[in-house]
Each structure stands twice: as structure tokens, then as C-alpha cells.
Chains A and B, each alone.
Chain A
Amino acid sequence: MTLPDVAQAFPVSWLWLIPFFPLLGTALNTAFGPSLQKRFGKRANHAIAIGVMVASCVVAEIAFWKMFARPAHDRFFENRLWTMWQSGSLKVDLSFALDPLGMVMTLIVTHVATLIHIYSVGYMADEPAYWRFFLWLNLFVFSMLLLVMGSNFAVMFFGWEGVGLCSYGLIGFWYTDLEKAKAALKAFVVNRFGDFGFVIGLFILFWSLSGTWNAQSRYVPEAGLGSPRLGAPLAHPRVSPAGVQLGPTIEFRELRNQIADESSGMAGRLGAMTLFGLPVLALIGICLFIGAAGKSAQIPLYVWLPDAMAGPTPVSALIHAATMVTAGVYMVARLNFLFALSPVAMTVVATIGALTAIFAASIGFFQYDIKKVLAYSTVSQLGFMFIGVGVGAFWAGIFHLMTHAFFKACLFLGSGSVILACHHEQDMRKMGGLAKYTPITRWTYLAACWAIAGFPWAAGFYSKDEILWKAWTAEGLSAPWMGRAIYLIGAVAALGTAFYMFRSYYMTFTGEYRGGHGHAPKETQEDPEAVASHAHAAAALHAPDEHGAAVEALEASVPHPHGHDAHAAEAHEHGGLPHESPRSMTWVLIALAFAAVVSGVLFGLPKLWSGHEPLLEAFLAPSLPAAEKVPFREASHSTELLFQLIGIGIAVVGWAGARALYLDARSTVPERLKAAFPRAWGVVFNKYYVDELYDATVVRISVLFSRALYLFDQYVIDGIVNLMATIGRGVAYADAAFDQKVVDGAVNLLADGFLHGGATLRRLQTGRIQAYLFGALAGAIAFVIIQYVIR
């Protein structure tokens, strides 16, 4: 399909409604949440939160159908609200835009978020600060929508930071627990490192677009660019022959047009520019990718994501699996035209993605905490997405993002249901046999496992296979063998994925239940949210009259989810056996599992099978102008089919391996292997000691540096401040003395003068009429005499 290079905006006036509704929910729950919760119960809080999400979903869907009704090259909705500030050629509008890419993201975000809001109703039912949870959740959705709908870097960056903030607030939702607060801080600080790269990348990009800003730039203007003189101010806006305005911009669409429009010469110009002797495009790409790596948990900035599992499980599902962590992938796809210009940047993206995929997958092999397994799996899957966008298969990366949003949200919510069922136990060694007790969770979890492992009847196969196939045939990377190497790494990572996902499935759902009965207050890492939600689930199973009493009793006694005694008091009522979650949660699981299975066939059926482009690829094409420009090797259909078979083979091998080793917990091989290679096992189990490495290097250096700064502060800055203070005090003393002696003296002198004068004069007033009369007479005589004398 050929599309025109220049994308024209279609102005609409209602896009702002999509992010507005979640913001409204946040505002309502912030302002009235506590009192509503007190007066009407928690129903009021989640009614607001879910209501606004549904409204947002509806607007997003209307937007989709309106967009769908328009011709493909004309699907660029734009809603400019107002100009936030303007400075020279930098004009920052608060404006929203939806193109097909943004539309897909918006639909994923709003719909998955709505489902997870509904799930949270059951999961967070006994949280005292219920309103706070939902306001954060709504605020997160608002920020995420800013991120995906912002039509320029400023709005996107606002959302980028906003989701980071909400991530911080939700990981540390139970902030009284120091470990969770630390995890929140870690996520925030690690993201700062990434954001630093992101901002630097933006600055370089903006600088490189201007060309006349800095006279030292090596930029030689091409014919298409108006001003012939270096460093000359822009008297007139420069316009390319195709009518695209050129020059610095932060608007994605304008940037896209400048680069996609061949006649502007911008692509060639950027390619020729250097900064400190380095090619500017590679520099921009790598800096932006550092930002993406921070947000999307890639090597070396992935360390925050596993720790982020300290947050409530719905948060893990929404933020740390389905939406926020994919922001980096979205950003690279959004700037596909820019990344595609630099093979070096593309290679870096794809390589880091591949390394992350296999690295995180290997850590996932030996984790026992079910949420940790899923966390590393998320890191690994994000690596796959970066392989996709890195090798130039942008749509495949976004496709995997979408399927991942479904199956990983399903897995996380399933794990939440499992944790709930097992009485806040996250250790898979203490689970087992749950298929019997939690059939719905089991089947949805299994469906999601099919999807992530890559069985052809579920979605993950289509997206992952497309990515790996494109990696194999990629030719846009800096070396021709890179694509194949990345394919091999990715294939091994996919094998690992299938293995550890089914390992978690078999450990959790097959065999005999190994968990403890009841709730002896054990001090292993227990998840406080599970205490609360489990209690709720238990309460939900009771008769309605007991329900109210139980909830009341809990609310009274569990101000913070660490209420062991409340829990234990209630434990004997329902025994120690696992139980299925309440209906509001299982329905969400079913919906997500359904999406995880069918979305692949629906949106991404390979061209090889159906004869036409996958629906999603066709839909995304206008947003991805670079997709046509990245070269791929031609390969025969039989080769492609062979690779698809290999993909299925990988999934089967991984599954079979996991089944052999972990089904019903019968095999002793894992334990024997662990005993045989204790050191290697330890290294992997301890996540290759990366956290320790960070502690020893970055954290240590930061702490030392901050200590040095502290000392500097203490002695130098404080010294200067104290000196200034002393000088100030000296001056003040002098001033006070002057005030007291001179000014007060003058005033007192005047006052004393009047006082003494009055005291003297009052003696004249004797009260004797004769004295007065005598005075009058004397006065008269004096006048007469004076008159006489003067005349």
C-alpha cells in the first residue's frame, strides 16, 4: 500500500474528553473520596472510578469508529486546546492527537484499565484507603492517555513523568512498609536515569532540527531549506516543495512529515549532521532509547520492575505489565521515522531487546515467587517488543505489545487470584493442586500461558513469530549477521519463556496443595494486600448477614493490612483450603483470557496464511512511514512456514520440558540439578547479582557522592550561609544601636520636651479667676504699652 508522505491533521474538538474523564475521577475521589467512603461505603468510590473509565472507553471507541470511517491516509485526528507557552521557534501546545498508532494504544489502555478497575473492586475490597487506590489508578490512566495521545513531546513527556509518579505512588501504596516504600523509590530513581537520557535526546533532536540555532553546527543547508546562510535568523518560515513546514518542532506529526517527505531533504541533512564527531541520529536514537529502557525495564535499567511487584497485584497487571512499561516501545514506534534513519540506533534497540529477553527469561527459570516470575517474564517480553521495533517491524512490536497487554494482564490478575486463593502466599512451592479449587483461574491462566508460550491457537504465537521472522530477515541493522544472531537469541528466549511459564503453571495448579492450612502468623514475605483481599473473598463466601459483620469487624481491626490477629481470628471460619475468587474478578480474567486467545488470529493473521496484510499492520501503516523504508530480505514462503513451525516447536519443547519436570511435582530432576550445580543455580536464582552489582556501584557511588555533597553542604554552603548570617547580625546590631540611640533619642527628646513644657505650663492654670483676670489685664496693658511704644 502506498500512502502519501505528508500527513494532514483532521481537527476535532472532543479528543480531550478521553483523558479528561479519568482526571475527573481523580479529582472527585481526591476531593470527596474519604467522605463518600464514610457516608455511602466503598461502592461510591469505585462507582466514580469505573464510571469515568467506562465513559473514557466509550469516547475512545467512538473515536475509533470515526477514524475507521475515514480513508487510511487521512486518519490523523488532532485536538488543539491551547498554547501553553511559546519561546522563539519553540511552541508548546496542549494538544491531543490520535493516529492509528495512538488509537491502538488508547484502546488498549482504556479497555485493559477498565477491566483492571473492575477487578480491583474485589481485590481491594478491604483496603481502608480505598478511595486513595482508585484516585491513583485513575490518575495513572490519565497520565498514560496523555502519553499516548499527546501530539507533541511536551504533552507526551508530561504523561511520561505522570505515569512514573503514579507508578511510584502505587508501588508504595502501602507506604508504611519500608520494603515497599523502598521499591517505589527504586522504581522512581531508576526511571530518572532513563528520563535523563530521554530529555537529552529531545534536546539534541530539537537542536538538530533548527540548523540555524548554533553557528558552529556542521550543517550545510540543502536546496530544500530556504536560508542559504549559516546562522542566519529565520526571516520566513521554510517550506519544502511538498508544502511541509521545516524547522524545529516538537509536534510528532510535523516531525514525521519533515522526515517522511523526501523533498524536504531533512532526512539527508540529519544523516549528515554530527555532534562532537558523533552522528546525531544515532545519538538521538540511543538517548531516546535510554529513556525507553528506563520506562520499559530493559538492560541495564530493568532492576526496578521486579521490585515493583511490591505494589497491589492489579497495579502490577495494569502498570507493570500491560500499559506503562510498554511506553518505551510505543515511543520507539511513534518515532519510527527517526529510528529508521539510523541503523546504529536500530541495532542498539534490537540488541538490547534481545539480550534483555534472554537474560530476564533465564532469571525467570528459578524464581519461586509467582509474581517475580511474571515480572521477569514481562521484562523478557518487553525485550521481544524492542526486537520488533528495533529490526524495523514496528507493527509487530506494537502487535506484541497488544497481545502482551492481554495475556500478561490475565496472568498477573490470575496470579492475584491465586495469591488470594492461597491465603496471601506468593511462593509457588507452597501452592500446587489449585486446578481443583480455582477452576476459572486455572483455565484463564492456562490460556494466557498458551498465548505467551506461542501455541498457534493463542495470540502470542502470531506476534512473537512475526517479530522473530522479521528479525531473521532484517537487513536494516548495522551488520548483516545481526538479524540472525538476534533471531537465535530470541528463539532461545522464547524457549525459556515457554518453559518457565508452564513451570509456573504446573507448580501452581497441578499436584497436591502444599500450602499451610489456616493462617499461622508466618513471617515470610507475605503480601499485605492479599490479607485484605483474601479476607474480603472469604467474607464474600459467607451468607450476606455474616458478610456485613465480617467486613465491619475487619474494617475495625485492619487499619493496615498487617492485621494478623484479625486474620487469624477469621481463618478458622473457612478453613485452610484455597477458594475461587469473587465473580467480579473471575469475569475480568475470562474477558482477558478470551482476548489473549483470539486477538492474534483477529488482528495479526500472517499474510502467508490469509493472503492479505494483517489487519493491524494495515491499520497502523499511516503512522509508521518508516516501515516501508526498512529493508528486509526476500524469503520464500516455505522458509517462512518453516520458521513458523520452528516457533511452534519451541513452544512445544518448552512446554514438554516444564511438564516433564514440574507436573504434579513428581519429578526430582529439578532438585537434583539444583544440588548438582549449586553455584550456577545460586547465581541465576540471585538474579546474577545485578542488584548487588548496582548496590556496589551506582548506589554506592551515589551515596558517596551524596555524602560528599552533604559535607560540602555542611561546611562550605553552611559556612557561607552562616558567614552571611553573622554579617547580617552585625549589621542588624549596628542598626539596632542607631535606632535605639539616635532615632529613639530624637523621638524621646521631642516627647520629653512636650512633657516638661506641659508640666511647666500647667502651673499657670491655677483655677483662680483673679489670676486669669490679672493675666487678661496684664495682657491688655501690655498691648497698650506696645501700641504706645511702637507708634
Chain B
Amino acid sequence: MSSIGLPHFLIVGAILFSLGMVTVVTRRNAVGILMGVELILNAANVNFIAFNHFVEGPGRLTGQVFSIFVIVLAAAEAAVGLAIVLAIYQTFRTIDVEETDLLRQ
């Protein structure tokens, strides 16, 4: 049995991404969508770390730095996203994205 290598991490990342993607596309709740986005971002983080470890080699921090950026960005995004959700709620009295189709106009 071989040790855990890059493909395993990438598969985990891919699964995470897919789950996030499906969440984003299918959830009708705006907060759920934000959560899906978090999953997608973390899938990317997994990939960064994995690539840093296996491609850059130990001692290099490029991937980690990227991940930290992404985490910070995710926090900001979540804050902004929740604010938008709040605004949507105040406008539409719902956070069901099926109902908020103003973009059609």
C-alpha cells in the first residue's frame, strides 16, 4: 500500500470543490450558497497546500501564504456576502434565490 501522495489530496480537493459547486448551484437558500462558496475556496486551499508540499518541497511557504490570503478573503467575502443577503432579505422579505430574479430586467 503506497503512501498518501499528491493525487489523494487533489481528489479530496476535487470532491470538496464538487460538493461546493453543487451546493452553490442547487441550494435555494442564499446562506447555503455562501457556504458552498466557502467549500470551493477551501478546496482551492487544499490544492495550494498539497502543491506546496509535493511540488515546491518542504521549507517553502508559497502555498501556505496563498491559503492564508484565501482564508482572509473568504472571511471578507463571507462578511460582504452576509451583508448582501441581509439587504436581500430586507428588500424581498426572503432569502430564497429563486425569488430574487431582478437581474433578469
Contacts and interface: CB of A to CB of B under 8 A. Distances in A.
A769 B26 CA distance: 11
A768 to B, nearest CB: 5
A777 B17 CA distance: 12
A588 to B, nearest CB: 95
Nearest to B21: A777
A779 to B, nearest CB: 13
A784 to B, nearest CB: 12
Contact of B25 (A765, A766, A773): A773
Interface in A738-791: 765-770, 773-774, 777
A635 to B, nearest CB: 123
Interface residues of B, number: 13
A777 B26 CA distance: 12
Contacts of B25: 770, 773-774, 777
Interface in B36-95: none
Contacts of A773: 24-25
B105 to A, nearest CB: 7
Given A777-B21, A777-B25, A770 B102 contact: no
Contacts of A774: 25
Contacts of B105: 767
A524 B61 CA distance: 132
B97 A768 contact: yes
B104 A770 contact: no
Nearest to A765: B104
Nearest to B103: A767
Interface string B17-31: 000010011100000
Contacts of A769: 97, 103
Contacts of B97: 768-770
Interface string A664-695: 00000000000000000000000000000000
Contact of B98 (A765, A768, A777): A768
Nearest to A768: B101
A770 B105 CA distance: 16
**Interface-centre pick from A765, A768, A774, A777 (highest chain B CB count, 10 A):** A768
B87 to A, nearest CB: 15
B101 A770 contact: no
Contacts of A768: 97-98, 100-101, 103-104
B24 A766 contact: no
Nearest to B105: A767
A773 B104 CA distance: 14
A770 B101 CA distance: 10
B31 to A, nearest CB: 14
Nearest to B98: A768
5 closest A-B pairs (Cβ-Cβ)? Answer: A767-B104, A767-B101, A767-B103, A774-B25, A768-B101
Interface of A: 765-770, 773-774, 777
Interface of B: 21, 24-26, 33, 97-98, 100-105
Given A767-B102, A770-B24, 13 more contacts: A765-B104, A767-B100, A767-B101, A767-B103, A767-B105, A768-B103, A768-B104, A769-B97, A769-B103, A770-B33, A773-B24, A773-B25, A777-B21
